[in-house]
Amino acid sequence: MTSEPASPPSRIDRRKERTRNALLQAATTFLADGHPNVSIQQITDAADVGFGSFYNHFDSKEALFEAAVARVLETYGTLLEDLVAAYDDPAEVFAVSFRMTGRLQRQLPEFVRVILNEGMRVLIHDRGLAPRALRDIEAGVAAGRFDIENLQLALMTAGGALLGLLQLLETEPDADAGALSDQMTARLLRAFGMSKQEAADLCSRPLPPQPEL
Amino acid sequence: MTSEPASPPSRIDRRKERTRNALLQAATTFLADGHPNVSIQQITDAADVGFGSFYNHFDSKEALFEAAVARVLETYGTLLEDLVAAYDDPAEVFAVSFRMTGRLQRQLPEFVRVILNEGMRVLIHDRGLAPRALRDIEAGVAAGRFDIENLQLALMTAGGALLGLLQLLETEPDADAGALSDQMTARLLRAFGMSKQEAADLCSRPLPPQPEL
C-alpha cells in the first residue's frame, strides 16, 4: 500500500491537544477575570497540567495570552460568519452580524469579558471581529447601501459602539440583549446614512437561531 | 486678631503637593505605557521621591492608579466643560464636546493612552467623560434635538464611538484630527436622529480655540 488514509490522531496527539486546550481555557478565564499578572505556575495549576508541559506548547505567558485572545476573536468571528452566510444584501449582513453579536454575549459572557478587557485594541487586531466588520462595511458602500467617506472611521464608529453595547450587556445581565442589540444596530445604520424607517425595517427582520455552543 | 486670611501654603505643604503630583504623574506614564504591573519602588524611583513617602499619600498602588485615572478623566472633562460653557443649544454642546475631544488627543496623547488602556470601563466610570456625555445627551433629548429611546444605550453608542476615534487618532499620529473628529461627530448626530444636512452644519461651525495646557 503506497497510499494510506490519514491516520486518526494518536493517543499522544489527543493528549497534547487536551493540554493545549486546557492551557488556553485557563488563560481565557484569567483574562476574562482581569488577572493577566498570574504566573505560569498558577496557569498550569488552573489548567491541571504539569508545569513542565507549558513550554511544549507556548514560548511564554505572553504567547499563550495572545493565542487565547486570538482564539476568542476567531471563535466569535467564525460564529458570525456562519450566521450571515445565507444573506446577500451587505446591509443585512452587517445588521445581522451586529444584532447577533449582542445576543451572543448572553451565550459567551466569558469571551466577551476577554474582549472588553482587551478594549479598543480589538478594533486594530488583524483577526476576528474588526477585519470582518471592515469587509462588511466596504461591501455595503460598494452596493450603494451605506453613505460613508472614510472606511476606517466607520469601522471605529461601529466597533466602538459595539464594544459599548457589550459593556452595557455585561454590566446589566438582566437587560433585554435582543432589544438593545437591535436598537444599537438601527442607530449605526442611521449613522451610515440609512433612514429611520429603513433601519428599523432591517432590524426587525427574523434572525437565524442562536448557535448551539 | 481673631480672624486671619487663610495663610499661604507652607513650604511643607508645597513639598507634599509636589510629591503627590510626582507620584500621580509617574503612575499616569506607567498606565499610558501599559505597565500597571510595576512595583511601588519603581513608581517612587520614576517620581524621584523616597520610597517611604509613598504611604503618606496613598494606601496602595491600586489607590494611586485609581487616583491617576480619575485625575485624567476629570482633567479631560473639566477642559471640555470650560470649552462648551458659552453654548446654549444642547445639540451644539454635544457636538462641540465631541469635536474638541478628538482635537485634544493631539495635545494630551498620554492622557488618551491612559483612557484607551482603561478601555470600556471609562464608560461606566462615575467621573469625567461619561457622566458629562450622559447629561449632554439628556439635555438634547429634553430640548427635542435628539430622537433617543434609551439614554444608557445612546451613551454607550457615543462613548464607544468616541473611544474608537481616539484609538484611530492614537494609531495614526499624522491623520487630520480635526477632520476625523468632525466626521465622527456628524455620524453620531445622524445616529441620534438628525438629518445629514443638520449634522454637517453643526459640525462645520467655528470652534473655540484649543485650550492652553
Q: Are A105 and A191 in contact (CB under 8 A)?
A: no
A119 contact residues in B (CB cutoff 8 A): 116-120, 163
What does residue A125 show for φ and ψ, rounded to 5 degrees?
-75, 145
Amino acid letter for position B76: Y
Residue B95 domain-assigned?
yes
pLDDT band at B101; cut points 50, 70, 90? very high
* DSSP for A148-171, written as a single string: -S-HHHHHHHHHHHHHHHHHHHHH
Rg (CA), chain A: 20
The Cα–Cα gap between B145 and B137 comes to: 9
Supply the pLDDT for residue A135: 93
- CA B191 to chain A, closest CA, distance in angstroms equals 4
Say how many CB pairs under 8 Å bridge A and B.
Answer: 119
- CA A34 to chain B, closest CA, distance in angstroms equals 12
Q: Which three cell numbers stand for residue B66?
A: 485609581
Distances (CA, A) of A80 to B78, B105, B109, B174: 41, 34, 35, 34
Q: Does one domain contain both A105 and A176?
A: yes
Q: Does one domain contain both A136 and A162?
A: yes
Residue A2, pLDDT > 60, answer no
Compute the average pLDDT of residues B159-184.
96
User: Which of A123, A154, A161 faces B167 most closely, judged by CB atoms?
Assistant: A123
- CA A122 to chain B, closest CA, distance in angstroms equals 10
* DSSP for B149-181, written as a single string: S-HHHHHHHHHHHHHHHHHHHHH-TTS-HHHHH
DSSP state of B35: -
Q: Does one domain contain both B90 and B17?
A: no
Residue A2 domain-assigned?
no
Q: Domain residues for A160?
A: 67-202
The Cα–Cα gap between A89 and A94 comes to: 9
Supply the pLDDT for residue A12: 86
The Cα–Cα gap between B15 and B49 comes to: 11
User: Which of A124, A149, A160 faces B171 most closely, judged by CB atoms?
Assistant: A124
A168 contact residues in B (CB cutoff 8 A): 152-153, 156
Which CATH number fits the domain that encloses residue B115? 1.10.357.10
Q: Does one domain contain both A78 and A50?
A: no
Q: Does one domain contain both A109 and A157?
A: yes
Q: Does one domain contain both B44 and B89?
A: no
Q: A166: closest CA among A73, A71, A37, A92?
A: A73
Note the pLDDT tens digit of each residue in A9-24.
888 888 899 999 999 9
Q: Does one domain contain both A116 and A40?
A: no
Q: What residues of chain B have any CB closer than 8 angstroms to a CB in chain A?
A: 37, 116-121, 123-124, 147, 149-150, 152-157, 159-168, 171, 180, 183-184, 187-188, 190-193, 196
B156 contact residues in A (CB cutoff 8 A): 161, 164-165, 167-168, 184
Q: Are A172 and B150 in contact (CB under 8 A)?
A: no
Residue B108, pLDDT > 80, answer yes
Q: What count of Cα atoms within 13 Å lies in the side-chain half-sphere of residue B33?
A: 9
Residue B1, pLDDT > 60, answer no
Q: Which three cell numbers stand for residue B165?
A: 476615534
In chain B, which residue ranges form alpha helices assigned H by DSSP?
Answer: 11-32, 40-47, 54-57, 61-84, 90-107, 109-118, 129-142, 151-171, 177-191, 196-202
Residue A78 domain-assigned?
yes
Q: Total domain count for chain A?
A: 2
Q: Are A161 and A129 in contact (CB under 8 A)?
A: no
Q: Which three cell numbers stand for residue A194?
A: 440609512
Q: Which residue has the cell 510629591?
A: B19
A152 contact residues in B (CB cutoff 8 A): 168
User: Global pTM?
Assistant: 0.90
B160 contact residues in A (CB cutoff 8 A): 159-165, 167
Which CATH number fits the domain that encloses residue A21? 1.10.10
Q: Do B161 and A161 touch (CB under 8 A)?
A: yes
- In this structure, of A54-63, A73-82, B6-15, the range with the lowest mean pLDDT score is B6-15
Q: Does one domain contain both B102 and B133?
A: yes
Supply the pLDDT for residue B36: 87
Q: Are B121 and A124 in contact (CB under 8 A)?
A: no
Q: B164: closest CA among B147, B184, B193, B145?
A: B184
Supply the pLDDT for residue B4: 61
Note the pLDDT tens digit of each residue in B41-58.
999 999 999 999 999 999
Supply the pLDDT for residue A4: 60
User: Which of A156, A157, A167 faces B156 most closely, judged by CB atoms?
Assistant: A167
Supply the pLDDT for residue A213: 83
What does residue A203 show for φ and ψ, rounded to 5 degrees?
-95, 5
Q: Do A161 and B165 touch (CB under 8 A)?
A: no
Supply the pLDDT for residue B37: 87
Note the pLDDT tens digit of each residue in A117-149.
988 888 887 777 888 899 999 999 999 999 999
Q: B185: closest CA among B87, B103, B117, B85?
A: B103
Residue B1 domain-assigned?
no
Q: Does one domain contain both B75 and B142?
A: yes
Residue A6, pLDDT > 80, answer no
The Cα–Cα gap between A38 and A61 comes to: 9
B124 contact residues in A (CB cutoff 8 A): 167, 171
Write down the ipTM of this complex. 0.88
Q: Of A58, A78, A96, at which residue does a domain stop? A: A58
B205 in the Ramachandran plot: left (φ > 0), alpha (ψ -120 to 50) or beta? beta
Residue B77 domain-assigned?
yes
Of all residues in chain A, the percent with pLDDT exceeding 90 is 80
Q: Does one domain contain both A133 and A91?
A: yes
Supply the pLDDT for residue A205: 96
B196 contact residues in A (CB cutoff 8 A): 147, 193
pLDDT band at B122; cut points 50, 70, 90? confident
Q: Do B149 and A183 touch (CB under 8 A)?
A: yes
Supply the pLDDT for residue B94: 95
Q: Does one domain contain both B80 and B124?
A: yes
Q: Does one domain contain both A73 and A175?
A: yes
- CA A113 to chain B, closest CA, distance in angstroms equals 11
Supply the pLDDT for residue A212: 87
The Cα–Cα gap between B22 and B13 comes to: 14
Note the pLDDT tens digit of each residue in A141-185.
999 999 999 999 999 999 999 999 999 999 999 999 999 999 999
Q: Do B156 and A147 touch (CB under 8 A)?
A: no
